[in-house]
Structure 1
Amino acid sequence: MFRWGLTIPLTGLPLGEHRDLLAGLSDLGYTDAWSAETNGTDAFTPLALASQWAPSLRLGPAIVPVYTRGPALLAQHAATLADLAPGRFVLGIGASSDTIVERWNGIPFDEPYKRTRDTLRFLRKALAGEKVKEDFETFSVKGFKLETAPATPPPIVLAALRPGMLRLAAREADGAISNWLAPHDVRTVRAELGDAPELMARLFVCPTDDAGEARAIGRRLIAAYMTVPVYRAFHTWLGRGEVLRPMNEAWAAGDRKKALEVIPDEVVDDLIVHGSPAACRDRVREYVAAGLTTPVLAVVPGGGLSPSEAVRALAPSAG
């Protein structure tokens, strides 16, 4: 099935004002709405609203950290959304980053691979309606059972940036979620994940013909993400370690201005989709041709378009 997703909520549009936009997404050719959880809205509330406002969209969080909720509470959230959107909810979980888990939430970011694996295994059992009493390697659950398990347990997909997690996703999950990719990087990811599992990725899209505007926005986003250890390691694996080294060194020295300046244009052009709306749609299709199952557009304001205008302009039905 052809998929074309959107990140919600949109930057610059209050969550409570999304009803009309979400209700019209299917007519524009969008198939999915995916939330996120960093320092804005939580991952589940936008999806709860979307489940009622857009009854044909597939919904999911990309992603919910496995540390910031206890396993049982995470199962409750997932069961609630599965009930609100039966057959349309996909649970995206992942380790997240030390910034979100440790610096912002005061939770040790220990054993991220094992914690993700254990949470996945627990959720499989809990969402199937089993009573879970088990000592996992990174936590123990002593007799939890959902009051009402979903009639159809939701698929679970893993945030996976490097070979170990990608292989775990292939073995035990229903797909993988990636981030910050160029089209040619999709093939590198697929080499570890395999051809069969669903692969989705959030793509930052700035619909503007002003390359200078797009690159300035892109540099800020890249510096904010690529200096985080998990993303730095990811792009070292993808082969960008040396080209991003000056940025990381400047950032570590506290020189934020220089860190932005030394990010090469070609890196920004690789990782940020920009240009006219038509050029952006074509670029997104390059990802699909390379093996991405589900592109999830994260609309970055640019080109003088309002968030709603940008969503319409970037829709597959637009061309």
Structure 2
Amino acid sequence: MDRWGITIPLPGVPLARHREIVEELPDLGYTDLWTSEKAGTDAFTPLALASQWAPGLRLGTAVAQVYTRGPALLAMNAATLAGLAPGRFVLGIGASSPVIVRKWNATEYATPLRRVRDTLRFLRTALAGERVSEDYETFSVRDFRLEHPVDPPPELALAALRPEMLRLAAREADCAITNWLAPGDVPRIRKEVGQDIELAARVFVCPTPDKALARRLARRLITGYLTVPVYAAFHEWLGRGEALAPMHEAWSRGDRRKAMEVIPDEVVDDLVVHGGPEHCRARIQSYVDSGLSTPIIALVATGDCPMDHVRKLGPS
């Protein structure tokens, strides 16, 4: 089945006003609804609402953080959603970043690869309804068992950028979720995870024919994300180190304006889809043609009604 996802909440739209557009999504050709978790809504509440608004959509977190919830609470969150949407929920987890984990949530951030590995293993057991008493490398759990196990248990997805995490996703998860890549990058990611696992990616879409506006908005996003060390290393691995070096140099000097100005147009156009609806749909499809299983549209706010954009970007 071809998948076509959208991220909620939509920019500038209160969560309580999402029912109208969520109910329309299946008729527009969307199959998936995914959330993120940063400093707005949590990853689970919008999906709980959507499970009742559109009972045919697959729902997923992209992603819930493994440091800001204890393992048992994460399993409880997942079981709740899986109970509301039987067979339609995917629990996507990830390590997040030191800013979110340490600075905002006052929690230690250490050994992310091992922490997500241990969390995957715990969740696989706990969500199967088994009692867990285990000393993992990064945490221990004693005598935990879900009071209300779900059948079937949700699939597990792992947020991954570079080879080690991508290969961990291929070994121990049902899906790999990646972020901030161009269609031409997909084969490199696919090479690491293999052909047998679902590969999802959030695709940033700025649906406007105003190229100057789109590039200006995209540059703000790129400097906000790709200056984070894990994303900087990701794009170094993908081969954009030289192209992005002037941005990193300006950013390190504290010159935010210059950092945005020196991002090459080619990089902007590679990483953020923009243009009219037909062009945007074709560009999103090119990710799929390159080996992506599930594109997850993340709308960039342009000042227009985002619900209109959702309607125009649906594949139907």
TM-score by length of 2: 0.99
**What is the match of residue 119 of structure 1?**
119
After TM superposition, where is structure 1 displaced by more than 3 Å over at least 4 residues in a row? none
Deviation at 1:65, TM superposition (A): 0.9
| Aligned equivalents of 1:237, 1:103: Cα separation in 2 | 27
Contact 1:206 1:275 in 2 (8 A): yes
Alignment of 1:222-261 (within 5 A): 222-261=222-261
- Does residue 1:283 correspond to 2:280, yes or no? no
Does 2:38 correspond to 1:38? yes
Matched residues in 1 for 2:315 and 2:301: separation? 19
CA distance in 2: counterparts of 1:15 and 1:253, whole angstroms: 38
Partner of 1:308: 307
Contact preservation (8 Å) 1:91, 1:154: yes
TM superposition shift of 1:97: 1.2
Partners of 1:66 and 1:234 lie apart in 2 by 20
Taking the aligned partners of 2:15 and 2:89, their CA distance within structure 1 comes to 19
- How far 1:12 sits from its partner (Å)? 1.1
The CA distance in 2 between the partners of 1:98 and 1:262, in whole Å, is 26
5+ long unaligned stretches in structure 2: none
Q: Which amino acid aligns with 2:111?
A: E
| Pairs within 5 Å for 1:156-305 | 156-302=156-302, 305=304
Number of the residue aligned with 1:29: 29
- Alpha-carbon deviation of 1:253? 1.4
Q: Which letter does structure 2 place at the counterpart of 1:137?
A: E
The 3-state SS of whatever aligns with 2:89 is coil
Query: What residue identity is the alignment partner of 1:251?
Result: W
Measure how far apart 1:187 and its partner are.
0.5
Task: In structure 1, give the amino acid aligned to 2:313.
Answer: L
1:35: Cα distance to partner? 0.3
CA distance in 2, matches of 1:274, 1:195: 29
Render the CA deviation track for 1:93-121: whole Å, top value 9, x for unaligned: 01111121112112121000000000000
Secondary structure at the aligned position of 1:153 is classed as: coil
Q: What residue in structure 1 maps to residue 79 of structure 2?
A: 79
Give, in angstroms, the shift of residue 313 of structure 1.
0.8
- Name the count of aligned residue pairs: 316
Q: Give the partner amino acid of 1:56.
A: G
C-alpha RMSD over aligned residues: 0.8
Residue 311 of structure 1 and its aligned partner are, at CA, apart by 0.3
Residues in 2 aligned to 1:115 and 1:101: alpha-carbon distance in whole angstroms: 13
- Structure 2 Cα separation of the partners of residues 291 and 174 of structure 1: 16
Deviation at 1:196, TM superposition (A): 1.1
1:78, CA displacement in angstroms? 0.2
CA distance in 1, matches of 2:314, 2:151: 33
Letter in 1 for 2:14: P
1:316 is paired with a residue whose SS is: coil
Question: TM-score of the superposition, structure 1-length normalised?
Answer: 0.98
Aligned residue type for 1:264: P
1:242 & 1:39 partners in 2: Cα distance? 31
- The alpha-carbon deviation at position 301 of structure 1 amounts to 2.4
Q: Tell me, yes or no, if the aligned pair for 1:99 and 1:228 is still in contact at 8 Å.
A: no
Report if the CA contact (8 A) 1:179-1:203 is conserved: yes
Consecutive unaligned residues of structure 1, counting only runs of 5 or more, are none
CA distance in 1, matches of 2:266, 2:38: 27
Distance in 1 (alpha carbons) for counterparts of 2:58 and 2:216? 33
Which deviations, in whole Å up to 9, do the C-alpha atoms of 1:200-228 show, x marking residues without a partner? 00000011111100000000000000011
Q: Which moved more, 1:252-261 or 1:22-31?
A: 252-261
